Structure 1
Amino acid sequence: MMRIMRRSGALVAVAASSLLLAACGGGPSQVGAAAIVDGQSISLDGVQTKLDTLIKSDKFVQQLQQQRKLDLVSRAIVSREVLYKLVDKAAQGEGLRVDERNLDKYLPSPESAQTQGSDDPAAGVEQSVDKAFAPQEAARHRMLLAELSAKYIGRVSLTVDRVQLQDPAKARDLADRIAREPQQATALMQQAAAGGEPPSLNEAVSNNTPQSLALFAEPGSVLFTPSNAQQSQQSEQAAGGPYQVIVIKKRDLVALPPDLDPTKFQPDQLIQYSKYLLRPTALATGINLNPRYGQWDTVNMQAGPADEAAVAGKVLTPKSSSS
């Protein structure tokens, strides 16, 4: 049976961002908005209120405040708000429904002292952020995320081309060039890798591996990402790479493996990969993030620090340079 017990999610490096709020053009005004998703504004005041509430009531957040790491919490709140809007939209297209009779089992898990006492604060931040949202609201969205994963887990088979480079600027430029000239993808990868590790072409990503969900994107999409980004983005970036450029050549929905039954998974097991299934929705609807929260990382589906924008995950569609 496919194992998906390991916690997922890229961990972002700690960084403070003091960029001023900038207004934008047409559509909802960016003034007063923490983010705009599919034309819907997420209130800046609402995000700040949630943060203030946690500062007053949550001991773990108070510790982060003393360490000057509140940016971790504020970005996590914004990320959660964005994901909730994305899953609401995806649920409409996928025909997902909330079964009120089973809602209680999707309530956020009780706080784990062991997790919040670890050296890595990311999991503890997520648990703290759970408390910033109404329990029933969190449960409804957790159920939708679990339903989304249950629909695709074990069924996504990918064929990809990928190349690994040490220089993030070179890798990011390669991703941009492939998106502009998708017919030249193989030649561009081989040229970029000259003298180093050759690209892996027509690589099969089995439906029986978690990576098939972590790389979920429309065929033709080009991903720029630190290697093993879903495990430890911070350590890869600190080491200067490596970085991957991945082209999604083919995506198929196949039959479930006979030994895999999505109904046997616990909600947390399903939810940990569901945000990657929202990637096509995010790209189709657009996410305009307030610069004080950094930049939206489309690979890891979260807000990332502004000073890591040059190496943040990026997804492009053919003949497009938007992420």
Structure 2
Amino acid sequence: MLIDQLPAQRWGSAPRTRARAARRRAPVLVVALGAACALLAGCGTGPNQAGAAVIVGDSSVSLTELQARVDQVLNRSDVMTDLTARGNTAADIARFVATRQVQHLLLTQAAQRDGIVVDDQRVDAELAKPDTAQMLDSDLVFDPVAAREAIRDQLIAEGLTAKYLDRLAITVDVTTASSREEALSKARLLAAGPAQAAAVLAADGPNAQRNLQLRAALVPQSAALFLFGTPAGQVVATQTSASPDVWTLVRVTRRSTDGPPVGDPNATSVAQLGVQTMDDIGRRLTQPLAEQLGVRVSPRYGTWDPLFLSVLPPGQQPSVVLPATLS
């Protein structure tokens, strides 16, 4: 099981839209059924907090505010014509907006925790770049206030990458399963203790890797994958192929962000990374914080996936996350 066989992150779950500027990669669409009108009309209570659409720790975004952001997209006939022609629904747009709002709250909390300050001058400079308008359009951001928020989030994510990429290291065991049922069974055994985990990995033979040690700076294009964000002492499982049904299971035995810099001449420096890669890695670095604070999403939008850091369509099962006994 090679690291490049793991699934790419899908944090935006963004609707397919016009080609994005060269500095940003087109996001992956998670297609869903239904319409946002049905999901958003008659808004009642949010997840354990009246009027909330998403909640992260003690912070939240109201249903009213999220609806307003969705309406900004739905009211753009030119944008909607393009989106619907590509097979998107209003529900896809609502989930994308909800996902981005969760990520905004996480990035804001991460910046406060790590002392990352993004002043207005940096935001102004980014907004003045010629390709920023196209990037914001592709991210379905049309309001000036929302644009500044999106740019600030991007710069915070880049700051997190600059701070941690060279110090992020993990040790993991990796194996596979051919169905959700098998994945759940193996995940429980992997989490039960070292002896049970060793038995599972031994039985899987060449399909498993044990004690795989990775430094993010040495594999930067993979540093945005969920295994780099999963805290030590967890077993996670997620579907990596639908046909045939393939699940990837990862047991994280060590994760460190405070070690000495890599110091390897083959390592990739932050200066060599593109903006999109830095943004992806920075968002991935909020995964432990999301678990610590707790993320709740109104069921009218779907279900939060703790590995992909995005809102899944209603009825779609999220990834599996289990606490593991390491000794």
Higher deviation after alignment, 82-91 or 180-189: 180-189
Contact 1:160 1:201 (8 Å CA) reproduced: yes
Higher deviation after alignment, 81-90 or 168-177: 168-177
Secondary structure of the 1:129 match is coil
TM superposition shift of 1:58: 5.5
CA gap 1:279/1:68 in 2 versus in 1, 3 angstroms: closer
* In the alignment, structure 1 residue 142 sits paired with structure 2 residue 154: yes
Give distance in 1, aligned partners of 2:26 and 2:260.
Answer: 24
* In the alignment, structure 1 residue 102 sits paired with structure 2 residue 111: no
Give distance in 2, aligned partners of 1:166 and 1:275.
Answer: 29
TM superposition shift of 1:173: 3.8
When the two chains are superposed, the root-mean-square deviation of aligned CA atoms in Å is 3.2
- Residue matched to 2:316: 308
Specify the code of the residue in structure 2 equivalent to 1:200: Q
* In the alignment, structure 1 residue 77 sits paired with structure 2 residue 88: no
Higher deviation after alignment, 203-212 or 215-224: 203-212
Q: TM-score, normalised on structure 2?
A: 0.75
Pick one of 204, 208, 219 that aligns with 2:232: 219
Secondary structure of the 2:169 match is strand
* In the alignment, structure 1 residue 129 sits paired with structure 2 residue 134: no
CA gap 1:314/1:127 in 2 versus in 1, 3 angstroms: farther
Give distance in 1, aligned partners of 2:176 and 2:292.
Answer: 27
TM superposition shift of 1:273: 2.2
Q: Deviations over 1:154-177 (max 9, x none)?
A: 432221101111112221343245
Q: Identity, % of aligned pairs?
A: 25
Specify the code of the residue in structure 2 equivalent to 1:90: A
Number of equivalences? 287
Q: Deviations over 1:221-279 (max 9, x none)?
A: 2221223xxxxxxxx22x14211110111224342444633245443331122211110
Give distance in 1, aligned partners of 2:306 and 2:260.
Answer: 25
Give distance in 1, aligned partners of 2:26 and 2:254.
Answer: 24
Higher deviation after alignment, 279-288 or 37-46: 37-46
CA gap 1:316/1:149 in 2 versus in 1, 3 angstroms: farther
CA gap 1:189/1:292 in 2 versus in 1, 3 angstroms: farther
Contact 2:111 2:156 (8 Å CA) reproduced: yes
Secondary structure of the 1:255 match is coil
Specify the code of the residue in structure 1 equivalent to 2:50: V
Q: Which runs of 5+ in 1 are unaligned?
A: 113-123, 228-235
Give distance in 2, aligned partners of 1:301 and 1:72.
Answer: 15
Q: Deviations over 1:56-99 (max 9, x none)?
A: 12623344357561111111100111011111111122121114
CA gap 1:128/1:98 in 2 versus in 1, 3 angstroms: closer
- Residue matched to 2:19: none
- Residue matched to 1:232: none
Higher deviation after alignment, 97-106 or 49-58: 97-106
Secondary structure of the 1:153 match is helix
Give distance in 1, aligned partners of 2:162 and 2:189.
Answer: 35
Q: TM-score, normalised on structure 1?
A: 0.76
TM superposition shift of 1:10: 5.3
Give distance in 2, aligned partners of 1:13 and 1:58.
Answer: 20
Give distance in 2, aligned partners of 1:92 and 1:302.
Answer: 22
Specify the code of the residue in structure 2 equivalent to 1:136: R
CA gap 1:221/1:212 in 2 versus in 1, 3 angstroms: farther
- Residue matched to 2:255: 251
Specify the code of the residue in structure 1 equivalent to 2:210: L
Secondary structure of the 1:31 match is coil
- Residue matched to 1:285: 293
CA gap 1:35/1:173 in 2 versus in 1, 3 angstroms: farther
- Residue matched to 2:134: 111
- Residue matched to 1:233: none
Give distance in 1, aligned partners of 2:44 and 2:210.
Answer: 42
Contact 2:201 2:210 (8 Å CA) reproduced: no
